[in-house]
Structure 1
Amino acid sequence: MGNGSGVGRPRASGAAASRPDARQAVLDAAGELFTGAGYAATTTRAIAERAGLRQASLYYHFPAKEDILAALLAETVRPSLALAARLVAGEAPAAVRLWALAYADIGLLGGARHNLGALYLLPEVSSPNLARFRTERAELKAAYGRLVAAAGVPPAAAGIRTDLVFGLVESIAVIRRDDPSLDVEAHVREGADGVVRLLGTGEPSDALRAEAHELLARLAE
């Protein structure tokens, strides 16, 4: 929808456009519509109506529909990327740090109000306007790779194991799409366990899980 420049689009300058919650209202409405009706079938007018705004007010925050998609996708990766940077730099056993990252990341994707991870398969994700999202997602995968390597996985297998780990983490989006009644917390725990199993270093223990939860709690302080 356009090139993102907003040329020729009406702009709003009143309270409806600038109120603090207007931008979030647009994102909430778009998340619901993109994951429900579909991205291609959703118009900016429909998003504005669902958000309780004039269409011009929507363009005040997002010049094009792809800009809304970019903002939504950023919400699925940036919190995990920030956590990953701290975990990669940490000193806890690599398996503990990997379990913690997978637990938090799967929880982010599975526990969000809308199943935004399902949008990863959209053809629009390859658009130049989504380059930053693709870069950040690649950086997150690379962080998983560093933890996989730090856990002692041989270099010849580390790339494949990282692919499998990252695929397992993101699979929550497809599973959630197919089963809206999914027990997210149970899936988060089992998913994190599965990630550690992919290391080939043995079954994750209760002690490992407890240490990972303590690590996440410290980082959240």
Structure 2
Amino acid sequence: MSSADDRRPRPGRPRHTPGQESSLSPREQILDVCAWLFVQRGFAATSTREIADNVGIRQASLYYHFPSGKDEILGELLEQSVRPTVDKAAQIEGMCPPEAPETALYVLLLLDVRTLASLPHNTGFLARLPEVTRSPAYEPYDKIRRGLGDAYERLGRQVVHARVVVPGTTGEWFINHAETVILMRRSGDMLGGAAQAAIAASGLRMCGASQDQIDTAARQADQILNGL
């Protein structure tokens, strides 16, 4: 006859969670579970015990991987939504012809859109939650996001035609345009390659770029992105 200890789940045995794969490291499993829990239930409503239970580890093990707990996990998830794009911005500008800022802007938009579209469980949505904006993890994310806005500002000012009125700052306008992906995913829309390219193209179109300029940028985009 089995004892109660024999029937108790073993620490470290991962439980089934949406999107979880056996190839994930323990740290990656924690991030994946938190991405799902934070988006579905909210950051404030998710406890470290609930995270540990869903991963299948002891609560103490959670702090081994993330000593600062939930805020540290949140910070990493937030950064994943902007860091890949920011880190490539200068390289994109250097790889694109200086006389064709439309191409650089298109590529930056497309990379941003692809990043947001590929985030597990649509974690780009987290930055819109009031409890997240009050978290200590938000300020470092916001600083990185402002760096992305600066890159958009530099390129956007070269592309936006004088007759076109862009509300607010140019950089913030392009960020908000790319982030429509987040709301589209919340609505259940499919965001394949064609949809992602359409969002990037519409960003150029709304700031006055010609169809020829958009077509040229689109032709060059994949080659440039493959070279990053």
For this structure pair, what is the TM-score category when the shorter chain's length is used for normalisation?
Answer: 0.7 to 0.9
Q: Which residue number corresponds to residue 3 of structure 1?
A: none
The aligned amino acid for 1:47 is I
Give the Cα separation in 1 of the matches to 2:191 and 2:113: 12
Structure 2 contact 160–208 (Cα < 8 Å) conserved: no
Q: CA deviation at 1:157?
A: 5.5
Identity %: 31
Q: Which amino acid aligns with 1:119?
A: L
Aligned to 1:103: 110
- Between 128-137 and 22-31, the greater mean CA deviation after superposition: 128-137
- Corresponding residue for residue 112 of structure 1: 119
Q: Does 1:148 align with 2:156?
A: yes
Q: Structure 1, residues 58-117: CA drift from partner, whole Å, max 9, x if none?
A: 011222211111110111111111111212334422111111111111111112221011
Verify the 8 A CA contact 2:157 2:170 in the aligned structure 1: no
Aligned pairs (5 A) from 1:143-182:
143-151=151-159, 153-154=161-162, 160-179=169-188, 181-182=189-190
Output the aligned Cα RMSD.
2.3
Residues in 2 aligned to 1:83 and 1:164: alpha-carbon distance in whole angstroms: 19
SS at match of 1:128: coil
* Matched AA of 2:200: A
Tell me if structure 1 keeps the 8 A contact 2:71–2:136.
no
Is the 8 Å Cα contact of residues 29 and 47 (structure 1) preserved in structure 2? yes
Kept in 2: contact 1:28–1:51 (CA 8 A): no
TM-score by length of 1: 0.81
Q: Which residue of 2 aligns with 1:21?
A: 25
Residue 82 (structure 2) pairs with residue 77 (structure 1)? yes
Count of equivalent residues: 200
Match of 1:208 in 2: 217
Moved more, 73-82 or 40-49: 40-49
SS in 2 for 1:66: helix
> Match of 2:21?
none
1:132 maps to which residue? 140
Question: Once superposed, which parts of structure 1, at least 4 consecutive aligned residues long, lie more than 6 Å away?
Answer: none
Partner of 2:6: none
Alpha-carbon distance, 1:153 to partner: 4.4
Q: Which has the larger radius of gyration?
A: 2
